[in-house]
Amino acid sequence: MSRKTIAGSRLGLLCCFAALFTGCAAAPKPGTRPATAAAETRDRALPTTDAATLAALERALAASHRSDADRARDVYRHPRETLEFFGLRQDMTVMEIWPGAGGWYTELLAPVLKDRGRYIAAGWDPKFDNKFVQDGIRSFQAKLDGDADAYGKVEVAALQYPGALAPVPPDSVDLIVTFRNLHNWMARDEAAPAMLKAMFTALKPGGVLGLIDHRADPNAPPDTHAKLGYVNQQYAINLIKAAGFELVGASEINANPKDTRDYEQGVWTLPPTWRLGDKDRERYAAIGESDRFTLKFRKPVAR
């Protein structure tokens, strides 16, 4: 099947590219399940994941196109619970922002959406002349080319700052998800508001934004540039609300109280990045992947 390529914008985030492919996932908090987001829009209830979608997601989780290494991270990333919390349905138009070279969530979203929905992978601009970015784009495309059954209907877009941040027509997406990317955009003052505003524009009224990132110590002064990869949760909420979104839910699905957030190389000290190599590896393995907030927003419905 052919894939559509949707024109995107140019990028000015060289300072934070190194984190894009190596950001850590959050470690589990045993026995947790998503908080119920019972709030409603003015005109309709928030989307709820149905049994058929959950069954399709279970099939994707068990499918052969997933590597053993990716499967091993399910215990830290809680994909089933996370996507259920966001309200994924197999008949939605879903756009993932910056899926990265490995496309970890692409492995799940693409097959779930291929028959009744639409999956748009909005990544980096192929026109950007940077080896790191170009290598990542090629790796992601090779993943798609390697399994037409799973990825044959994936649409590839570009959504980057600066430039014309318009990967899809306005008011055309039901659900936008992005995992461990906000801290990258915060590295440049203008980037995070611009990216969030582009997402707001792309969503349908009542559409949902699901966002996850490494959680900073709430008692520490917020680092507005997230230099260590950690983001103050309330700062993130305020930033996203400033783009026009309403907060409708927060979950501790991806919390890890063992994460002390005081590492030599920031969040990238922890697995799966292991930036220090074998130094203190047993210590960091015992901590696991980073503590993470899981937030759910919506685009308001006009009266």
pLDDT for 267-298, tens place per residue? 999 999 999 999 999 999 999 999 999 999 99
Residue 26 to residue 294: CA distance in whole angstroms: 10
pLDDT tens-digit readout, 82-129: 999 999 999 999 999 999 999 999 999 999 999 999 999 999 888 877
The one-character DSSP state at 3 is -
Q: Long-range contacts for 234-237 (Cβ within 8 Å, ≥24 apart)? A: 236/182, 236/211, 236/293, 236/295, 237/295
The mean pLDDT of 189-197, rounded to a whole number, is: 95
pLDDT tens-digit readout, 156-183: 999 988 765 788 999 999 999 999 999 9
pLDDT tens-digit readout, 140-149: 999 999 999 9
Closest of 219, 236, 228 to residue 297, by C-alpha:
236
Q: Which residue has the higher pLDDT, 221 or 7?
A: 221
Strands 155-158 and 118-123: parallel
- For the chain, how many residues are written? 303
Residue 296 to residue 208: CA distance in whole angstroms: 7
Residue 40 in any domain: the answer is: no
Segments forming the whole domain that contains residue 289: 5-28+46-298
The mean pLDDT of 210-226, rounded to a whole number, is: 97
Count of beta carbons in the 10 Å neighbourhood of residue 293: 25
Residue 230 in any domain: the answer is: yes
The one-character DSSP state at 287 is H
Given this model, what pLDDT does residue 163 score?
A: 62
Band of the pLDDT at 20, cuts 50, 70, 90? very low
For the chain, the domain total comes to 1
Given this model, what pLDDT does residue 209 score?
A: 98
Residue 290 to residue 119: CA distance in whole angstroms: 27
The mean pLDDT of 243-260, rounded to a whole number, is: 97
- Both tokens of residue 298? 């919506």
- Both tokens of residue 141? 């495309």
Residue 11 in any domain: the answer is: yes
Residue 127 in any domain: the answer is: yes
Residue 41 in any domain: the answer is: no
Residue 36 in any domain: the answer is: no
For residue 9, pLDDT over 90 is answered with no
pTM here is 0.85
Residue 177 to residue 122: CA distance in whole angstroms: 10
Closest of 252, 258, 296 to residue 41, by C-alpha:
296
For residue 41, pLDDT over 50 is answered with no
Closest of 214, 226, 181 to residue 199, by C-alpha:
181
For residue 25, pLDDT over 80 is answered with no
> What CATH number is associated with residue 89?
3.40.50.150
Percent of the chain with pLDDT over 90: 77
Residue 66 in any domain: the answer is: yes
Residue 256 in any domain: the answer is: yes
